[in-house]
């Protein structure tokens, strides 16, 4: 079994911090009444986090694909190509729903399914073994796309995306909620419920 390293990075967090400052100055005065009793609506929270489609995780996957050919009963390796692919996960922030219990001071955030884009092969990162291998770029791209589709497992990127979007939503809501409020998360699909347990286990 060959090992294929990969790395994951979170994106978009710094921009959200600036956005949270803007929300604090514009929205917060609208949701606090004069006697300091705080009432929050789901529409207010939905407006606060609706920043469009947010890319939350960028995964870099490195693999090695083999071009083989058949001669009689034997399978030969014509060449191997090292490649790099990017897989990006995002959330449609406008699809997030909220259930607000003003009596209990509890906000339930219902997160949508994470959107994972098809892998994008970086054509500038090809490396051939042997180095003088003759290969058509179109064949190499097809070979690498097939390899990454067979080898890449998106479970980890889903877990990273869930953790990132939760942190992002909490940051965007924090200017609107005082310490008396608590936040709970639910997921719109069964697969996300399974991912939630993984996130909680990782935190624990």
Domain ranges of the chain: 6-203
Region for 11 from its dihedrals, namely left if φ exceeds 0, alpha if ψ lies in -120 to 50, beta otherwise: beta
Contacts of 188 (CB under 8 A, 6+ apart): 110, 111, 112, 113
Peptide bond into 34 cis (omega under 30): no
| d(C-alpha 53, C-alpha 38), whole Å | 29
In a structure prediction context, what are the per-residue pLDDT tens digits for the chain, which is 204 residues long? 344 444 445 445 445 544 544 454 444 444 444 445 567 888 888 888 888 777 778 888 899 999 888 777 778 888 999 999 998 888 888 889 999 999 999 999 998 888 888 889 998 989 998 888 888 888 899 999 999 888 887 788 888 888 888 998 999 898 888 888 999 999 876 544 444 444 444 444
Single pTM value for the model:
0.63
């Amino acid at each position: 079994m060959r090992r294929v390293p990969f790395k994951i990075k979170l994106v978009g967090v710094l921009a959200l911090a600036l956005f949270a400052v803007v929300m604090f100055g514009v929205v917060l005065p609208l949701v606090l009444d004069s006697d300091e009793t705080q009432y929050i609506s789901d529409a207010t929270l939905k407006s606060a986090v609706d920043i469009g489609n947010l890319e939350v995780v960028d995964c870099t996957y490195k693999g090695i694909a083999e071009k083989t050919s058949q001669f009689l009963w034997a399978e030969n390796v014509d060449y191997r190509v090292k490649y790099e692919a990017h897989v990006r996960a995002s959330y449609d922030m406008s699809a997030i729903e909220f259930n607000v219990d003003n009596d209990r001071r509890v906000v339930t955030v219902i997160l949508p399914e994470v959107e994972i884009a098809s892998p994008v092969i970086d054509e500038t990162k090809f490396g051939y073994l042997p180095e003088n291998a003759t290969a058509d770029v179109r064949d190499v791209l097809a070979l690498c796309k097939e390899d990454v589709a067979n080898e890449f497992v998106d479970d980890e990127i889903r877990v990273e995306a869930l953790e990132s979007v939760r942190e992002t939503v909490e940051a965007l809501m924090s200017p609107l909620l005082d310490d008396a409020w608590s936040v709970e998360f639910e997921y719109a699909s069964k697969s996300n419920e399974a991912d939630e347990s993984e996130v909680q286990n990782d935190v624990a």
